[in-house]
Amino acid sequence: MIKYGFLGLGIMGNAMAANLIGADLDVTVWNRTKAKCMPLVEQGASLGASPGEVTTQCDITFAMVSDPAAATSLFFDTGGVLDGMGPGKAYIDVSTVDPATSQRIAEAVKAKGGRFLEAPVTGSKKPAEDGTLVFLCSGDESLFQDASPALAIMGKKSFFFNQTGQGAQMKLVVNMIMGTMMTAFGEGLALGDKTGLTATDILDVLAQGPIDNPMFRLKGPQMAQNNFATAFPLRHMQKDMRLALQMADEYGQPLFTAGAANNLYIKERLAGGADEDFSAVLKAIIR
């Protein structure tokens, strides 16, 4: 039986690891805050003492952390993933990072004789809980094949791109579009409210037209009730917008609307909304 590791048990990682455990897979977990591991241990997971130990004990280790700095620290710090990496070991980073971070980690894994796959996901808390995430993978194709059964437990679809870094690039493109859509959606709700149109009526009309989509259907009613319970933290969306803008600068591609949207996320993050759902950008629009 393949032994799986899972590092990072935040909103997403906790749900993803729980699905692996629920499928009766052999899973070892680790998190910087040990208390977050205990509910999963009660469900049948083993507890790892460090990322390096988990990697040593497991055949395939997944990681889900917040940003490039956290991903780099998890991998390279003393006791990190690199300490446990070697021939026969595999590492799959499902975090959202920039392409350069993925490429740096990939090179270090290969230098130790291991296999690497970047596999950032589209989807937030509910899809993670339901096992309906979408994985955007690139790197070692043999690892993609070997990990496919686990990916199928955690997600509904997995894509593979040949060049390491393309998974990260695809994720940043997707989140840039989503983040910009949310600010336009918020502006529409705000303008409608000023004119006397109810959010319910706006949502009903949108649901019948060409821009109907799951995000508007899910977030709209919550936003109308000032419910910004966190499924995807605003600070993470702003991080992804920033990384997308940096990537665009590298390729000489202007992002006019995304740049303006990013400023709204920055405004709300600085106003104290960093840990609320990214839909809380509405507050920056109406403030």
pLDDT at 270 over 90: yes
Catalytic choice (171, 219, 239, 283): 171
Q: What is the model's pLDDT at position 190? A: 98
CA distances from 244 to 103, 241, 285 (A): 16, 5, 22
Q: In sequence order, what are the beta bridge partners of 26? A: 3
Domain ranges in the chain are 3-162, 169-286
Please, which pLDDT band fits residue 287 given cuts at 50, 70 and 90?
confident
- Which two three-digit tokens encode residue 181? 């859509």
Instruction: In the chain, count H helices and then E strands.
Output: 14, 9
Residue type, 2: I
What is the dotted CATH code of the domain comprising 169-286?
A: 1.10.1040.10
pLDDT per residue as tens digits for the range 123-175: 999 999 999 999 999 999 999 999 999 999 999 999 999 999 999 999 999 99
Q: What is the rounded CA–CA span in Å between residue 246 and residue 285?
A: 24
Q: What is the rounded CA–CA span in Å between residue 216 and residue 279?
A: 10
Q: What is the rounded CA–CA span in Å between residue 118 and residue 264?
A: 29
Please state which architecture CATH assigns to domain 3-162: 3-Layer(aba) Sandwich (3.40)
Residue from 75, 141, 142, 137 nearest 111 by CA: 75
Q: What is the rounded CA–CA span in Å between residue 121 and residue 71?
A: 15
**Mean pLDDT score of the chain:** 97
User: Average pLDDT for residues 218-245, to the nearest whole number?
Assistant: 97
The residues near 68 (Cβ < 8 Å, ≥ 6 apart) are 97, 98, 101, 243
- Which two three-digit tokens encode residue 286? 């109406």
pLDDT at 189 over 90: yes
Residue from 57, 69, 71 nearest 13 by CA: 71
Region of residue 30 (left: phi > 0; alpha: psi -120 to 50; beta: else): beta
pTM of the model: 0.94
Annotation marks residue 89 as catalytic: no
The residues near 104 (Cβ < 8 Å, ≥ 6 apart) are 72
Percent of the chain topping pLDDT 70: 100
